[in-house]
Chain A
């Protein structure tokens, strides 16, 4: 089945710097790669996603890149702000009909003011 690895587990950056979180997946048939943000005590919420027919997608200060050959995708946050501090999860659909989503272990991002 699908396996999703996420790195780093913790990331600390200075306000205004960029942050990059990387994930690898194992199932070459996977075609949808979302990123979720979870603020402390809240539910995870989708912030950006990418499908396998494109290599990059951008939405204001966040972007996701996908390398299907290497089976990895990354989240890029530019000009980080304190409110970006949260746990970020990458994910990929499982290979059992797409009913399940396999999540990475999460990255705790700290943005220092």
Chain B
């Protein structure tokens, strides 16, 4: 069966610091991968998606970037965090349109 992992589960970072969130998927090959952000009490904002290694599509211009160095690994990064980057970050993979979400990383930028 397929499993999706994210780490860390929670993170508190100062403004201006770098960020690296990691997501890995097990049990499937060549998945479509996604990064979403959810601000407190809000909906799901698609940040990036990837249909293959090295292929990244950005949905919202911002100070975040994504990379896919391996088939089942998706990384979300920032060189300098802003206060507005706080939120719940969800990685997901999809099969036949259904989205399977990871457990999420709760990021607080102070």
**Interface positions of A (Cβ within 8 A of B):** 32, 34, 36, 42-46, 49, 89, 91, 93, 98-101, 103-106, 108
Contact B97 A103 (CB under 8 A): no
Measured in the bound complex, the distance between the Cα atoms of B102 and A32 in whole Å is 22
Note all chain A residues with C-beta closer than 8 A to B104.
Answer: 42-43
Measured in the bound complex, the distance between the Cα atoms of B96 and A93 in whole Å is 10
Q: Does B49 contact A (CB under 8 A)?
A: yes
**Interface positions of B (Cβ within 8 A of A):** 32, 34, 41-44, 46, 49, 51, 57, 59, 90, 94, 96-99, 101-104
Note all chain A residues with C-beta closer than 8 A to B41.
Answer: 108
Given contacts A43-B103, A43-B104, A45-B101, contact A99 B51 (CB under 8 A): yes
Pick from A32, A36, A104: contact of B97, CB below 8 A: A32
CB distance from B49 to the nearest CB of A (A): 6
Given contacts A43-B102, A46-B99, contact A89 B90 (CB under 8 A): no
Closest to B103 in A: A43
Given contacts A32-B97, A101-B94, A101-B97, contact A44 B44 (CB under 8 A): yes
CB distance from B99 to the nearest CB of A (A): 6
Contact A89 B43 (CB under 8 A): yes
Measured in the bound complex, the distance between the Cα atoms of B59 and A32 in whole Å is 22
Contact B98 A49 (CB under 8 A): yes
CB distance from B59 to the nearest CB of A (A): 8
Contact B44 A89 (CB under 8 A): yes
Measured in the bound complex, the distance between the Cα atoms of B94 and A98 in whole Å is 10
Given contacts A89-B43, A89-B44, contact A43 B101 (CB under 8 A): yes
Note all chain A residues with C-beta closer than 8 A to B49.
Answer: 99-100
CB distance from A98 to the nearest CB of B (A): 6
Given contacts A98-B97, A99-B49, A101-B97, contact A106 B43 (CB under 8 A): yes
List 19 additional contacts besides A46-B98, A100-B59, A101-B99; criterion CB under 8 Å. Answer: A32-B96, A42-B103, A42-B104, A43-B90, A43-B104, A44-B44, A44-B99, A44-B101, A49-B98, A89-B44, A91-B99, A99-B51, A99-B57, A99-B94, A100-B34, A101-B46, A105-B42, A106-B44, A108-B41
